[in-house]
Structure 1
Amino acid sequence: MHADPPRPRRRLPPPPPPPTQRAGHNDEQEPRLYTPAEAALLLRVSESWLRRRAGRRHIPCTFLGKHLRFSAADLAAIIAAAAAPATGRRPNRRRPHPTPITDLPHDGSHASITDAPDTNRSEI
């Protein structure tokens, strides 16, 4: 019988650097991205409104792949755009009344043939 060769030892990942030695980043330099739920709470709007407007690209936002996120700059731009002064009354969104039809048949037109005696029939 022969002996099994020794199995190689598994290496452990290196420990993370202490908080004071992290590549010169601190919490103030790292960008903060908000989820739609967090951004909606900060803006005090519904999440569905925020998602709909971002999906139509009506408000600034960030897409990380398929994930929607908002930066602090995005939120500031949304607030600034909403702070525009009112310019007067809101336009009427109703559709105008349909125009009256003026092409109705009149005497002597082809549509009044039904009033004339039928000359194409032969009487039996």
Structure 2
Amino acid sequence: MRAGADHSPAVRMQAVFRGVGPGVAVSAEVLLYTPEQAAELLGVKPSWLRRKAAARAVPCTFVGKHLRFSRADLEAIVTAGEQTPRALRPRA
């Protein structure tokens, strides 16, 4: 690897897809996120996310032994955490 080169998942995927034949449309969008990437997007610690995934408390995907999160997994985690605002009771 060259010093200073960008080795993000999207860049790696683009490099893989360069070998695809002509006329084949392939998206370079990230399909799966590592726990660190997913935690950064969610604004939580990776250790929290790993613990929840190990307890099967949040949706996740295992590719072999590697823990990964899809965009749908992240959206489900956010949706599950949403809370409806409660009306404030007037003080007596």
| Same fold per superposition (TM over 0.5) | yes
- Equivalents in 2 of 1:63, 1:56: separation in Å? 13
User: What value does the CA root-mean-square deviation take over the aligned residues?
Assistant: 2.2
**Shift in Å at residue 27 of structure 1?**
1.2
Q: Please list every run of at least 4 consecutive aligned residues from structure 1 whose deviation after the TM superposition is greater than 2 angstroms.
A: 84-87
- Equivalents in 1 of 2:75, 2:20: separation in Å? 34
Count of residue pairs the alignment pairs up: 68
Matched, 1:27 2:27: yes
Residues 80/26 of structure 1: CA separation in 2 closer, same or farther (3 Å cut): same
Aligned to 2:54: 55
Gaps of at least 5 residues in structure 2 are 1-18, 87-92
Residues 63/86 of structure 1: CA separation in 2 closer, same or farther (3 Å cut): farther
- Equivalents in 2 of 1:17, 1:76: separation in Å? 30
Residues 17/41 of structure 1: CA separation in 2 closer, same or farther (3 Å cut): closer
**Shift in Å at residue 17 of structure 1?**
4.4
Where relative contact order (Cα < 8 A, 6+ residues apart) is larger, the structure is 2
Q: Percent of aligned positions with the same letter in both sequences?
A: 50
Matched, 1:66 2:65: yes
> Normalized against structure 1, the TM-score is what?
0.49
**Shift in Å at residue 72 of structure 1?**
0.2
Matched, 1:80 2:79: yes
**Higher helix residue share:** 2
Residues 48/17 of structure 1: CA separation in 2 closer, same or farther (3 Å cut): closer
Matches within 5 A, 1:1-124: 16-17=19-20, 21=22, 24-27=24-27, 32-85=31-84
- Equivalents in 1 of 2:26, 2:80: separation in Å? 31
**Shift in Å at residue 85 of structure 1?**
2.4
Quick check: which has more Rg, 1 or 2?
1
Gaps of at least 5 residues in structure 1 are 1-15, 88-124
